[in-house]
Amino acid sequence: MTAPLLIIGAGLAGWTTAREFRKLDTQTPILLVTADSGDFYAKPSLSNALVQQRGPAQLVSTAAAKMSESLKVTLLAHTRVTALHPLTNSISTSQGDFSYSQLVLATGAQPIRVPLEGEAATQVLSINSLDDFALFHARLTPPRTDGRPTQVLIMGAGLIGCEFANDLAASGFGVTVVDPANAPLAALLPPEASLQLRDALGALGVNWHWGDTVKAVRYTTPPNSASLTSPTQGAALQVELTSGVQVPVDMVLSAIGLRSETALAQAAGLVCERGVQVDASLQTSAPHIFSLGDSAQYGPGLWHAEAAAGSTPRQPTGGRTLPYVMPIMSAAKALAATLVGQRTEVVFPLMPVAVKTPALPMVVAPPAPGTPGQWLSAEPGLWQFNDAQGLRRGFVLTGSQTPRRGEQAKLVVA
């Protein structure tokens, strides 16, 4: 019996790899192992579901059973992978051991959690999956019995923090955002655009605490079973900031970033840095094992001489993680070709990111990290990033300028 293509992870990266592979190979068995239900949903929709009045069930676009049937995939749902065994081409799971012909790690990323003081620190939520969103949604509803808006404090004014702040404020919730920077999306945007976003979200009622972080989360009322699943009347939590400011809230949401899930790969001896290090063909340092999506760190070069028709390989180092939708789609298509024997190096096109903040619509195509240069304001709502040689390396569009993403993308030098 032919050993299957084995995919770990049922997020966008895992299911898209299965779909692209099936376009090229309809016969090789596929085994997909996931710790969750395997239902297919768009992860970016988690941060704008409230204003659309969509609950967890409404976010599922295709049930796991239908995905499995249409792609001829054997699905092991609610199954934990405990170890990878590269020497024997097998894995260990909570349901036993399984062999593979080729293995794809689509294990995603985990929210970064910082240590906090206070007995209620464990009540801080992060939203990185449908299950996370279901818990968050349950705690938001029903509304407070005193008629006042439920108060949510968000740790982090990055992409996800700003999107949730917009969604919550536009849905009638009280929102406070705490960030050590001095403006939202400070690492991605030119200062003027960042201030525009700050003011637009402020107009929705978002309260900002800049240059500050959360120090402790404590209960203001004795915890009980009800307080752990839904807001109680009056502020249930007291958040202490490092500045000493005290903020009474009902819920704390951490949105300070993601860290690639590398535990399995590291334990198996695969090279990992910020993510599972892959080469230009998405192969890891172990033969027959590949990775993509939030778990991967995309680097140049090739691991193995045979991959380059006998040429001396250049060991991949550095590279970047790309926790966005478009890189996953490009990577899955290239990987599928490699998996059927047509080794293909992934080439990422310019991939502008649409920031889901309706208070100020934005499209961001940032320069590669570390690129020397400066942001220039070309006209209202349009900023362009030029490098030290004067070449266009990125752009930002806001408000009515966002439809110009295609036009501006053509001006960026790859």
Residues 58, 18 share a domain: yes
Count of Cβ atoms closer than 10 Å to residue 146 Cβ? 9
Residues 85, 124 share a domain: no
Question: pLDDT tens across 159-194, in order?
Answer: 999 999 999 999 999 999 999 999 999 999 999 999
Residues 302, 387 share a domain: no
Q: Tell me, what CATH number does 365's domain have?
A: 3.30.390.120
Return mean pLDDT, the chain. 92
Among residues 238, 254, 270, which one ends one of the domains? 254
Closest CA to 256 of 295, 213, 216, 298: 213
Q: Is 284 a domain residue?
A: yes
**What is the predicted pLDDT for the residue at 54?**
96
Question: pLDDT tens across 322-332, in order?
Answer: 888 999 999 99
Q: Is 227 a domain residue?
A: yes
Q: Is 308 a domain residue?
A: yes
**What is the predicted pLDDT for the residue at 349?**
84
**Integer Cα distance of 317 and 71 in angstroms:** 35
Residues 291, 334 share a domain: yes
Residues 250, 117 share a domain: yes
Closest CA to 234 of 139, 148, 124, 336: 148
Single pTM value for the model:
0.91
Q: How far is CA 217 from CA 122, 140, 155, in A?
A: 9, 18, 12
Residues 123, 99 share a domain: no
The better pLDDT of the pair 176, 371 is held by 176
Q: Tell me, what CATH number does 78's domain have?
A: 3.50.50.60
Residues 375, 307 share a domain: no
**What is the predicted pLDDT for the residue at 287?**
94
The pLDDT of residue 414 is above 80: no
Residues 236, 121 share a domain: yes
Among residues 230, 254, 278, which one ends one of the domains? 254
* Segments forming the whole domain that contains residue 51: 5-110+259-339
Q: Is 151 a domain residue?
A: yes
Question: pLDDT tens across 12-45, in order?
Answer: 999 999 999 999 999 999 999 999 999 999 999 9
Residue pair 10/31 in contact by the 8 Å Cβ criterion:
no
Residue 122 zone, left/alpha/beta (φ > 0; ψ -120 to 50; rest): alpha
